[in-house]
Amino acid sequence: MSFKSRVLITGGAGFIGSYLAELFIDRDWDVVVMDNLITGDLGNIDHLMGQQGFQFFKQDVTEYIHVPGQIDAILHFASPASPIDYQIYPIQTLKVGSLGTHKALGLARSCGAKFLLASTSEVYGDPLIHPQPEEYWGNVNPIGVRGVYDEAKRFAEAMTLAYHRAHGVDTRIARIFNTYGARMRLDDGRALPNFVCQAIRGEDLTIYGDGSQTRSFCHVSDLVEGIWKLLHSDTTSPVNLGNPTEIPIVDFARKVLKATNSSSELKNQPLPEDDPRVRQPDITKAQDVLNWQPKVTLDEGLGLTVPYFEKKIRESGTESSTLSES
Ligand code: UDP
């Protein structure tokens, strides 16, 4: 019998989930990953397979879930998470945020485990308050194309606090802002994978709208440290986790060109429906209660991320003809 703590990570074969799995293994926890692999990828956890204390279950968290043995914490990270993915999987996105959160909370209750919900800055929608503090209730279009994700996560937050209040489950809610790093999928449609792949392939960078909309990008190594600290804190109300350095998307694209040493051009395309005009986390609460703030600058983070995309593109044989000839 193991005396180590044991964590279940739903969506643990995804981009952020796989870094969490690694972090918890490194910090001497046993780790169980559950993933239905619709947007997750076994390649992200290949290096953990076969390691002592690591287990993987291919399972859909929206159905009845059972994990044999003790569970001390559940990190509920299962969900499509890019605007393209949740438009491809709108019903799965709604189900995993609602039914999946219910199942994961039920398991936490029955095991006496702590429960941490991966929520999102999308709960603030197209925000009318800037930067966004946790007290802001948001400006969300429930019936727009992003509504399936935004409302699922808002429901998930409500469900999490209901289990806390009604059943005394020890819960945490992380509101995660734009996060990037290696292991993002080449084709997931988000700004960073799109721009980096386009730049490496020598294609035009697709700037939606005029590119004046802003985002604030957090490197995944900072984010998972924040999740670790949040789990070990006693804060049951939501906490923003993200990098507060805000940048217009067009300037972000230029940084990608520099980091990839690319001479691609920028090309404007129509702005998608309900694309938030601005986004920047107010991280005062995370600083105060978790003593956490990001350390990795965008330039450093791009430097850590670009080689992964170069390798993936080489392996997939999808370099542009100009680059593959050189
Ligand atoms: N974006 C863009 N070109 C792309 C992909 C995204 O201009 O090829 C913009 C998108 O419209 C949004 C921002 O980049 O304003 C961030 O998009 P992403 O999909 O990464 O995440 P979001 O923050 O919108 O969920």
Cα 288 to averaged position of ligand 1 atoms, centre (Å): 30
CATH assignment of 6-180+219-241, among 3.90.1070.10, 3.40.50.720, 1.10.3720.10, 3.60.70.12: 3.40.50.720
- How many Cβ atoms are within 10 Å of 261's Cβ, its own excluded? 9
Cα 63 to averaged position of ligand 1 atoms, centre (Å): 32
Burial 264-290 (b: 16+ CB within 10 A, else e): beeeeeeeeebebebbbbbbebbeeeb
Q: List every span in the chain annotated with CATH 3.40.50.720.
A: 6-180+219-241
Length of the chain: 326
Q: List every span in the chain annotated with CATH 3.90.25.10.
A: 191-214+245-279+296-325
190 lines ligand 1 (CB under 6 A): yes
Residue 1: predicted pLDDT: 56
Cα 134 to averaged position of ligand 1 atoms, centre (Å): 23
* Cβ-Cβ contacts under 8 Å for 74 (sequence gap 6 or more): 7, 8, 9, 10, 104, 107, 108, 111, 113, 114, 115, 116
Which residue's CA is minimally distant from atom 5 of ligand 1?
A: 191
Residue 118 is given by DSSP the state E
Cα 213 to averaged position of ligand 1 atoms, centre (Å): 9
Catalytic residue among 149, 163, 208, 308: 149
153 lines ligand 1 (CB under 6 A): no
216 lines ligand 1 (CB under 6 A): no
- How many Cβ atoms are within 10 Å of 91's Cβ, its own excluded? 8
Could you list the pLDDT tens digit for every one of the 326 residues in the chain? 568 999 999 999 999 999 999 999 999 999 999 999 999 999 999 999 999 999 999 999 999 888 999 999 999 999 999 999 999 999 999 999 999 999 999 999 999 999 999 999 999 999 999 999 999 999 999 999 999 999 999 999 999 999 999 999 999 999 999 999 999 999 789 999 999 999 999 999 999 999 999 999 999 999 999 999 999 999 999 999 999 999 999 999 999 999 999 999 999 999 999 999 999 999 999 999 999 999 999 999 999 999 999 999 999 888 874 443 33
Residue 326: predicted pLDDT: 33
Residue 319: predicted pLDDT: 83
Q: Which CATH class is domain 191-214+245-279+296-325?
A: alpha beta
Residue 2: predicted pLDDT: 64
256 lines ligand 1 (CB under 6 A): no
Which residue's CA is minimally distant from atom 19 of ligand 1?
A: 190
Based on the residue annotation, tell me whether 208 is a catalytic residue of this protein: no
83 lines ligand 1 (CB under 6 A): yes
Q: What is the pTM of this model?
A: 0.96
194 lines ligand 1 (CB under 6 A): yes
Tokens for 272?
Answer: 């998608």
Tokens for 210?
Answer: 């005029």
Q: By the 8 A CB rule, do 158 and 150 touch?
A: no
Cα 122 to averaged position of ligand 1 atoms, centre (Å): 13
Q: By the 8 A CB rule, do 85 and 149 touch?
A: no
